[in-house]
Structure 1
C-alpha cells in the first residue's frame, strides 16, 4: 500500500498539474497562435509545460532542504534520504530550466531550430546579452551547482547556506513575472517571489514526506508531520496573501474576474481554499487521531495526502497558465506613456501628490515582505509571552509593549508615507535611514526576543533543529561573536554610512528593488547590533563596562554628526542622474542638504534615550551589586569585612 502511494502521489501531482496547465492555457489563450512571428505549437505549448516542470523541481529541492533543516534528525536515515530527494529534484530543476531557456529563446528570437552557425550565434547572443536569456542561464547554472551541493554537503549547519542558494535560484523567475518599468513592478516582484518560494516549501515538504515514508517509522512520521504542519500553515498564509496581491495588481477590478484571466484566478483561489481545508483537517483532526491510534499508518490518511497533492498540482498548473495569459490590466512601461515625466520614467510609478507633513501618514506604498515580517514578528512574540504566562512564568509588560511598537514603527517606515517619497526625495530617504538604524532598534532591542525564544520554545531531544536550536547556534557562532563585539558593531554602524553613500551600493539600492530590500535589512541589522551592544538584554559574548558604553555612544554619535555635517555643507549631488534628474519636488541640492540636517539632528533624540537607558542600567547594576554584598554579609556575619580588618591590624602590628 505505502509503496503504491509513493508512486501514485507524485504521479497524481504531475498529472493534475499537466491537465490544469493545458486547460488553463486553453481558457486563458496563453498558447494561442501569434499573429506575427509565431514560434509554432511546440514552443507555444512546450514553454509553459517546461515552466511547470521547473516549479515542480524547485518544490522538491527547496522542500527537501527545508524539511532536513527543521524537521529531520541527522542521526536517522531520513536525513540523508531527504537530501537525496533534494539532489534529484535539483537535477530535475536544472534540466527543466535549461529546456525552458531553450524554448524561451525560440519564442523570443523566432529562429527555427537548426544546427548551423546562425542558430548557434543567435543562441549565444540570447543567453549572454539578452536579459531574459541571462536569467535562465543563471537559473540553470545555480540548479547545477545545487545538484552537486545537495549530494556533497551533509553537514547540518552548512545546509542552511545551500537552502539560501536554492531560494536565490527563484529570484530570476520572480523578476520575469512583471514588466520592469511598469507601474507596481516592485510590489509584483515581491508578491511573486514570496508566492513561489513558500509554495515550493509547502508542496515540496509534503512530497518529500511521502517519498520518505519507508525511512520514517510510525512515531517519527507523526513527529515530522506535526512539524511540517506548522511550516505549512505559515506557507499557506504567505501564499494566500501574496496571491491576493498579485491578482489585485493584474486583475484590477471585480468586473475583470469575468475575463478568462479572472476565471483562472478564481480557479486557483478555489484550489487554495480546498488546500486550506486539508491543512485544517490535518492539524485539528488527523495528527491528533494518529497520535492516539495504535496503528497511525491508516490507508485513508495516505489517500487524503494523495488528494492534497492533486489539488496542489491543480494550483500549480493554473499558476503556470496565468503566467502565460494576458492580464486585464495592461503592463504599460513608463517610457511608453505619452508625456511621461522624468520621475515617472526613472521610478516606473505614477507620481505621488506633493509632499506635506500630513501625507507622511495618509500615503502608503505597501511592501508585502515587511508587512508579513512585522505581522509574524508580533504574532510569534505574543505567542511566546502567552506560553510563559500559561505555565506561570513572568515576562515584563514593558518588553512586550516596546517590541510591538518597534514592529509597528518598522511597518510604517517600510510601507508608509516615508516609503512613498524616499525614492523621489533624498531628505525622506535619510529620514527612513535614521529611523531604521536608530528609532526601530531602540524599541526592538529591549524586547529581548532571543531571551523570550529560549524560554518559550520547547527544546528538541531527537537531534533535529527547530527554531530554538537554530537561534542558539546563530547566537553562539563565531561570526556572531565578532559582529556582536561592541567595537565591531560601532564600527559597522558608522563605517557603513560612508561605504554605502560613497560607493555604487547607493545606486543599486535606488534603481533595483532587491538592492532596496538589502538596504533596509542592512540598516536594520547594523542599528540593532549597535543598540544591542549598549542596552541589550539578550546574551552576548562580551559587554563593555557601563562607563565605556557611554564613551562608545558619544564617540559613535560624534562621527555620525560629522557625516551629517559633511552632507549639509557638500555641493555635489549624490546620484545626480537619479535625484538630480527627477525634476520633482524641491531643488535636489537643497533637499540633499536638508537630508544631511536630518542625519545630524534626528539622531540626537535616540542618542539621549540610549544614554538615559545606559545610565539607568548602570544604576540598577550598582544597586544589585550592593544588595548582593549586603545579603552575603548577613549570611556570613560580615566575614569578608572582619577578614579585611584583621589583615589591616596584622599589617599595623608588623609595622610597629
Structure 2
C-alpha cells in the first residue's frame, strides 16, 4: 500500500498511483486555460469578432482583447472568491485538536489553509489587473476608438467612468477587486475571511446590472436571474479550480497524515464532500437561472440552432448537463469510496495482505477523481470562454424601447398595468426570480429538516412549519405579485408592498423558528472548521447581534427607517435604481424580522428583553406609525413627484390622492400586525408566568416550603430585634 492510500510509515511511493495527481495542479489548470481561450476564439469567429465595425472600429486589439480579458477576469474572480470561501468554511485554519485551539494553544497554520490563501492572493491580483483591462477595453469598444494615450481618449475615458453606467459598473468592480486583493494578504481569521468572501461576491452585482438587462421587456427578472447565474458560476467554477490547484498540496498532506496513521484520505474526502454540497446547489442555480435568461431573450425554439446567440446557449446547456453528470459521479460513487476505503487507524492496523485489492481500488478511485476534476475544469473554462463572447452578442429579442413607448414604460421599464382593482393585486404576476428561488429553497430546506427530525424521533410543531411557509408565500406575492407591479406606479401600491414586507412577512417567518430548527438539525463540526451551524451560533452571540437585537435599537431602527426612507433622497434611489429597490426590500424585510424576533420570537438571542419592555416598545411603535400615517394621509405635497406624477394613467384619481390613500393603508396595515404582536407578547408573558409559578410550586413540594418558612422566620427575627417593639402587655 502506498502512503497516499494509508500505508504504514516508510512504505514506498507507487509512481503509477501518484501519476494522476502529478498531472493535475498547475499543468491541468494551464491546459484548461488554453482550452478556454480556444473557445473564446472559436465563438468569436462564429459571431464575427474578426470583422471590423462598419461605422466605428476600435481595432483588432479591442475586438479580441475584450472577450479574452473578460474570460480571464471571470476565472480569476471565481478562483479568488471561492478560495476565500473554502478557507472560511471548509478547511481548518490550524493544526491540532479543536479543543486545544479553543483553550488558546494554537498550533501552526494548516498547510492546506496556507495554500488556499496563496491561491486566493495570486488569483485576486490577476482579477484586479483583468478588471482594469476590461474597464479600458470596454470604453474603447463602446466609443469605437482604438486604445491610445491621446488626450481625446483619456478625456472620454474619464467621462465614461463618471457618467456612463457601464463605466461606473466596471470601475466599481475594479475597486472591489483592488480592496479584496489588499485584504486577502492581511486577513487570517475565519470571521474576517467570511466577511471578505462577501466583499468578493459583491463584485457580481455591478456585472449583473450592466448585462443584457437594462432595456428588455422584464429587466428586473433579467438582472436578478443573471445575478443568480453569476453567483452559481463563481461558486461552482471557482471552487473546482481551487481544488484542482490544491491537488499537489492535498496529496502531500494526505501522505504525511497517512504515514502517521492519522487518516490522511479523510482530509480529501471531507473537503470534497463539503464542496460537492455547495456545487450541487450551484448547479441547480446555474441551470434554473440560465433557463430564465434564455426565455427572456429567445422567443422560438428554432432560434436555439439558427442564431449565433441561440447556438451558444445550446452549447452551454449541453456542457452544464455533462458537468452535472460528472458531479453526480463524484457525489454518489467516488467520494463514498474514497472515504469508505479508509475506515480509520484501527481498521488499518488490523489490515492484512488481503487489503492489497482494496488499496489498488483506492488508488484507482483517487486517480479517476483527479482526472475527472481536470476534465470538469477544462469544460468549465470552455463554457466561460463561450459566455464572454455571448455577453457581446445581440440576442434575437430586441432590448431597445419600442417606438411610442408610454410614459410608464419609459420611467419604469414596464407598460402600465390595468386599473388597480382589488382582484388585480392577486391575479397579476411578474416573477422576481431572486425571491422565488430564495423562497423555494428555504421551503424545501425547512420541511426536509422537519422530516429529518421526525425520523430520528424528535418532534416539531406543524403549526410552525405552516407559519413559515405562509411567510414565504407572502414574500413571493409581495415581490412578484400585484403589490410589486403596482408598487412601481402607485404610492399606495408601494405602501402595500412596503408594509407587508415589514409587518406581515416577518411575523410568519419568526413564528416558524427557523434558527432553532437549523441548530437542531445541522451537524456539529469537530475539525476546527465552521459550518452553517457554527456560523449561526457565531452570529447569534456576536457583538453585532447584541447591538441590533437590543429592544431600543430594534424599535428605533424599525420606526426610524420609515422617516429616513420617505423624507430623504433614499426613496427616489429605491424607485429609480434596481439595486436601490433590492436594498430597500432586504432592509425592510430584515428590520421587520429583527423587530418581530425581539418582541415575540422563540429563536435564541444574546439577551431577551423583559415582557413589560416589549409591550412598551410595541405601544410606542403603534403611536409612531399612527403619527406618520396621519401625516402622509393629510399631506398636500407629493413625494417623488417626478416619478409618481408622470405615469400617465387615467384611473379617476390623482397622484396626490393616491398618496393620501397610501397613508391610510400605512395606518391600517401597520397597526393591525402591531396589535397582533402585542397580543402574542401578552400571551407569552402569561405563559411564562404560569411556567414560573409551576416551577416554584414544584420547588416548594420538594423542600416542604423551606423557602417560605425561612422567609417568615426572617420577619420574626426582625421583629424580635426591633428596639421600638413594645415591652409586655399594653394597659
Whether TM exceeds 0.5 here: the answer is: yes
What does residue 323 of structure 2 align with? 275
What does residue 233 of structure 1 align with? 280
What does residue 646 of structure 1 align with? 713
Structure 1 residues 531-550: aligned runs within 5 Å: 531-550=596-615
Deviation digits for residues 190-223 of structure 1 (CA, Å, limit 9, x no counterpart) = 1112211220111111111122233332221111
Structure 1 residues 350-369: aligned runs within 5 Å: 350-369=415-434
Cα offset, 1:392, TM superposition: 1.6
Q: Which runs of 5+ in 1 are unaligned?
A: none
Q: Is 1:515 the counterpart of 2:534 in the alignment? A: no
1:8·1:306 contact (CA, 8 Å) conserved in 2? Answer: no
Deviation digits for residues 327-370 of structure 1 (CA, Å, limit 9, x no counterpart) = 1101113xxx3322211110122222222211112111111111
What does residue 395 of structure 2 align with? 327
Shifted more, 7-16 versus 184-193: the winner is 7-16
Shifted more, 524-533 versus 93-102: the winner is 93-102
Query: Residues of 2 paired with 1:491 and 1:57: CA distance?
Result: 42
Call closer, same or farther: CA 1:132–1:569 in 2, change over 3 Å: same
Deviation digits for residues 444-480 of structure 1 (CA, Å, limit 9, x no counterpart) = 1111122111111111111111101111111111111
Q: Which runs of 5+ in 2 are unaligned?
A: 1-18, 95-109, 255-264, 343-358
What does residue 8 of structure 1 align with? 27
Cα offset, 1:652, TM superposition: 5.0
Structure 1 residues 248-647: aligned runs within 5 Å: 248-258=295-305, 259-294=307-342, 296=362, 298-333=366-401, 337-584=402-649, 585=651, 586-647=653-714
Query: How many residues get paired?
Result: 653
Query: Residues of 2 paired with 1:110 and 1:8: CA distance?
Result: 38
1:30·1:325 contact (CA, 8 Å) conserved in 2? Answer: no
Query: Residues of 2 paired with 1:114 and 1:377: CA distance?
Result: 51
2:36·2:384 contact (CA, 8 Å) conserved in 1? Answer: yes
Cα offset, 1:604, TM superposition: 2.7
Q: Which has the larger radius of gyration?
A: 2
Call closer, same or farther: CA 1:114–1:406 in 2, change over 3 Å: closer
Cα offset, 1:161, TM superposition: 2.4
1:30·1:324 contact (CA, 8 Å) conserved in 2? Answer: no
Call closer, same or farther: CA 1:648–1:133 in 2, change over 3 Å: closer
What does residue 212 of structure 1 align with? 246
Q: Is 1:126 the counterpart of 2:160 in the alignment? A: yes
Cα offset, 1:20, TM superposition: 2.1
Secondary structure of the equivalent of 2:677? helix
Query: Residues of 1 paired with 2:507 and 2:667: CA distance?
Result: 18
Query: Residues of 1 paired with 2:637 and 2:578: CA distance?
Result: 25
Q: Is 1:47 the counterpart of 2:60 in the alignment? A: no
Call closer, same or farther: CA 1:67–1:587 in 2, change over 3 Å: same
Shifted more, 416-425 versus 392-401: the winner is 392-401
Call closer, same or farther: CA 1:604–1:106 in 2, change over 3 Å: closer
2:515·2:603 contact (CA, 8 Å) conserved in 1? Answer: yes
What does residue 60 of structure 1 align with? 79
Call closer, same or farther: CA 1:353–1:17 in 2, change over 3 Å: farther
1:25·1:325 contact (CA, 8 Å) conserved in 2? Answer: no
Query: Residues of 1 paired with 2:671 and 2:213: CA distance?
Result: 42
Query: Residues of 2 paired with 1:609 and 1:102: CA distance?
Result: 56
1:565·1:597 contact (CA, 8 Å) conserved in 2? Answer: yes
Cα offset, 1:86, TM superposition: 1.2
Query: Residues of 2 paired with 1:518 and 1:115: CA distance?
Result: 39
User: Match for 2:269 among 222, 231, 251?
Assistant: 222
What does residue 25 of structure 1 align with? 44
